[in-house]
Structure 1
Amino acid sequence: MDVLSSRILLRPADPKRSQRFYRDVLGLAVYREFGSAADPGVVFFLGSGFLEVSGRSPGSPGQSLMIWVQVRDVDAEHARLSAAGVPVTREPRTEPWGLIEMWIEDPDGVRIVLVEIPAEHPLRRDPRGSSQPSPPHGE
């Protein structure tokens, strides 16, 4: 499989409410809008991926869907989102695997994991290390 692009598709119970949450509360930038002006779908930038909030779902999206979002400072986001009235389902904490995580939910109960990768974490290091041969001089 040659993946050229990807996105998370979210079909909320109330699209306008969810679009406001992702745009105005979380502060995700809009990549594009599509469909009718009265009921547009919105695609948000989500780091190197996209989140599309469009259409409707008659029920809850369920607890099997989670969105993982890396942020620079989980504590700052905790303070900002708490002040905005966003329910925090798990306070920020350092997990056994070394990432700092906080969990929130969108208006339909979709779990969102906000993750900070500490400077010393292996995800911050180049796994290639210095074992890669240097290109010959003159090339």
Structure 2
Amino acid sequence: MEILSGRVLLRPVDRERSLAFYRDVLGLAIAREFPGGTVFFMGSGYLELSGQADAPSSAAVALWMQVRDLDAAAVELAAHVVREPRKEPWGLSEMWITDPDGTRIVLVQIPPDHPIRRDTR
């Protein structure tokens, strides 16, 4: 099997509320829109909001987004922070926020000396 592309799909309870969050609060650019859905650019990936859920999902799903300045993101997104920025044992600085349906979003800053930055694969 060959995977040609992929994206994260979210089924929001309130599409307009979630659309406003990802577009206006996080500032994600829209890649394309179609009846009933919106696809956002999310770094080197995509996030699609489409369909509708009857209730917030209890599935263990989290979005991982790298930012340049985690401290600045903490100030900008203070109303959405559920865990303050901290350096993790694996060397990344992380902060957690949630979207309107409670989906966890892990915002990550990668220090200059972290192995991810040195990996040439």
The equivalent residue for 2:73 is: 77
Percent sequence identity over matched residues? 60
Q: Which residue number corresponds to residue 16 of structure 1?
A: 16
Aligned to 1:103: 96
**Distance in 1 separating the partners of 2:115 and 2:103:** 28
Structure 1 position 121 matched with structure 2 position 117: no
Q: Which runs of 5+ in 1 are unaligned?
A: 129-139
Amino acid corresponding to residue 53 of structure 1 in structure 2 = L
Q: Identify the residue that residue 47 of structure 1 maps to in structure 2.
A: 43
Q: Paired residue for 2:7?
A: 7
Q: CA deviation at 1:63?
A: 4.6
Tell me how far 1:126 sits from its aligned partner.
3.0
TM-score by length of 1: 0.83
Give the counterpart letter for 2:65 in structure 1.
V
The ranges of structure 1 where at least 4 consecutive aligned residues each deviate by more than 2 angstroms after the TM superposition are: none
- Relative to the length of structure 2, the TM-score reads 0.95
Structure 2 gap ranges (5+):
none
For the residue of structure 2 that corresponds to 1:51, the secondary structure is: strand
Greater strand proportion: 2
The structure having more radius of gyration, on CA atoms, is 1
Note the alpha carbon deviations across 1:73-113, whole angstroms, 9 max, x for none. 1111001111xx32x11100000000000000000000000
Match of 2:53 in 1: 57
Aligned partner of residue 82 in structure 2, secondary structure: strand
Query: Cα RMSD (Å) of the superposition?
Result: 1.1
Query: CA–CA distance in 1 between the matches of 2:77 and 2:91?
Result: 23
> What is the count of residue pairs matched by the alignment?
121
